[in-house]
Amino acid sequence: MNNQSQAVQLLYNTYPFPPEPLLDEPPPGYNWRWNWTAAYNFCTGRKPPSQNVRILDAGCGTGVRTEYLIMLNPEAEIVGIDLSEKALEIAQERCQKSGVASQHHAPISFHHLNLENAATLPGQFDLINCVGVLHHLPDPIKGIQALARKLAPGGIFHIFVYAELGRWEIQLMQKAISFLQGDKQGDYKDGVFVGRKLFELLPENNRIVKREKERWSLENHRDESFADMYVHPQETDYNIDTLFELIEASGLEFIGFSNPQYWELERLIGQSEELMERSKKLSDRQRYRLTELLDPENITHYEFFLGKPPLTQIDWSEDELLLSAIPELHPCLYGWPSQSLLDYNYQSVKLTDQEYQFLQACQGNLSVKEILANIALDLPTVRSLQERQLMILTPY
């Protein structure tokens, strides 16, 4: 282990992260990105062929995400790896204490392992989850390549890394703390002390203070979160250009951002027909770059999916294909059964009477055609239910 990795290990042994409390019950709600069926559907437009899959939580920390992966994927084998022994202890305790581990139907294991050494894990994985980790590696390209080799053909890879534009104030504070720490750099408790004192002393209208209060203070009241943000010894922040250099180095296919609403250029310049026409001449990557340049404050990270071929995305525009498909409810709906509910992204949805009746009939045993024989709903509306990810289809 090199010096940078040792420094990161010491940080997370000092301040295990994330610092969420341990519960005596399963975690609330869901994150659809950690549900195999929902994530596979987002990437391909269909239900996955199997639930008996292997999932790797690469850089699992204290197990907050791992606990959700266990709860949301009862038939999947779950493997968690991390470089912090202390965080791994908490992760295992978390999953036992909440009861999700004892109720799981497949193996669960945790390993003290650097991401770069993922090759030592047996077999390959259908879903790899790597949230908030690659940007803390001494060599993120080496890390993403190591994980890409562990992705099974047809598998998907969910990644979260930092974006430089929305973290500008964080970068300034990180540098200020390091100046004042001097030869105490690496003493993370001292770093937290220095950072807290700076926020206490700076005027309220200071840009760094304003950004902290507006965006981060709710989580940063805990020293673990404050240390992770402001005194981390290793961080790489990306822009669209450097992000796609990382993606290309992985050798995998870019499927898409998991927050596509942010990347809709129409929300920023859609009122100008002329500018929208000009934007159509740009490549996808240029449009992504333009979006973040025009809305830098809200781009603090990139969250996206990669895939390893063969991974076929289904086009449901053909009527016969849609009519023969078997529909089921999306697994991440909050408030069902009701005509007013929250979708997979916790956005409010109001269903018409016919949409509600259709979704009630989506039990995984009837085709779209068979359901429509008893419900007056047109195919464009059925297609809309799939596009809005209120239901998931299995091609016949």
Boundary (domain end) residue, out of 278, 307, 336: 307
* Residue position matching structure tokens 């770093």: 191
Question: Can you list the alpha helix ranges (DSSP code H) found in the chain?
Answer: 3-14, 36-44, 64-72, 85-97, 140-148, 168-181, 188-201, 207-211, 217-220, 223-230, 240-250, 266-269, 273-279, 284-294, 319-324, 353-360, 368-372, 379-387
Domain boundary among 267, 282, 307: 307
Residues 46 and 81 in one domain: yes
Q: Do both 184 and 216 map to the same domain?
A: yes
Euclidean distance between the first and the last CA atom of the chain, given in angstroms as a whole number: 50
Residue 341 has, within 13 A of its CA and on its CB side, a CA count of 19
Q: In CATH, what number is assigned to the domain containing residue 347?
A: 3.90.930
Q: Are 268 and 299 in contact (CB under 8 A)?
A: no
CA atoms within 13 A on the CB side of 315: 2
pLDDT range class, residue 2, cuts 50, 70, 90: confident
Task: Assess whether 200 and 286 both reside in one domain.
Answer: no
218 located within any domain? yes
Pairwise CA distance, residues 258 & 243, whole Å: 15
* CA–CA distance, 333 with 281 (Å, rounded to integer): 37
131, part of any domain: yes
Say if residue 133 is in the same domain as residue 194: no
pLDDT tens digits, one per residue of 6-59? 999 999 999 999 999 999 999 999 999 999 999 999 999 999 999 999 999 999
Which pLDDT does position 80 carry in this prediction? 98
Residue 1 — very low, low, confident or very high, per pLDDT cuts 50/70/90? confident
CATH number for 303: 3.40.50.150
- Residues 285 and 120: their CA atoms lie apart, in Å, by 35
Looking at the domain assignment, is residue 312 inside a domain? Answer: no
CA neighbor of 332 nearest in space, from 261, 264, 395, 258 = 258
Tell me which DSSP letter residue 167 carries. G
Do 81 and 28 lie in one domain? The reply is yes
Total domains, the chain: 3
Does 218 score more than 80 pLDDT? Answer: yes
Domain membership of residue 246 (yes or no) is yes
Determine the pLDDT at residue 62: 98
| Residue 384 in domain | yes
Range of the domain at 377: 319-394
The number of residues in the chain equals: 396
In this structure, are 249 and 214 located in the same domain?
A: no
Q: Is the pTM of this model over 0.85?
A: yes
For 392, the 3-state DSSP assignment is strand
Same domain? For 132 and 278 the reply is: yes
Give me the mean pLDDT over the 232-259 stretch: 98
Per-residue model confidence (pLDDT) at position 253: 98
313 within some domain: no
Tens-digit pLDDT profile for residues 161-171: 999 999 999 99
Same domain, 180 and 160: no
Of 303, 292, 304, nearest to 168 by C-alpha is 292
Per-position DSSP letters for 76-137, written without gaps between them: SEEEEEES-HHHHHHHHHHHHHTSTTTT-SS-EEEEE--GGGGGGSSS-EEEEEEES-GGGS
Q: 97-141 pLDDT, tens per residue?
A: 999 999 998 999 999 999 999 999 999 999 999 999 999 999 999
98 and 209 assigned to the same domain: no
| Per-residue model confidence as pLDDT tens digits over 316-363 | 999 999 999 999 999 999 999 999 999 999 999 999 999 999 999 999
* 61 and 184 together in one domain: no
Q: In terms of domains, do 148 and 53 share one?
A: yes
Task: List, in order, residues 6 or more apart from 276 with CB less than 8 Å away.
Answer: 265, 266, 269, 270
Nearest of 238, 356, 345 to residue 289 by alpha carbon: 238
- Report d(CA 80, CA 54) in Å as an integer: 11
63 in any annotated domain: yes
Mean pLDDT of the chain: 97
86 shares its domain with 217: no
Boundary (domain end) residue, out of 190, 215, 230: 230
What percentage of residues in the chain have a pLDDT greater than 70? 100
Residue 387 placed within a domain: yes
The pLDDT assigned to 277 comes to 98
Tell me the percentage of the chain whose pLDDT exceeds 90: 99
Q: Which residues contact 277 (CB under 8 A, 6 or more apart)?
A: none
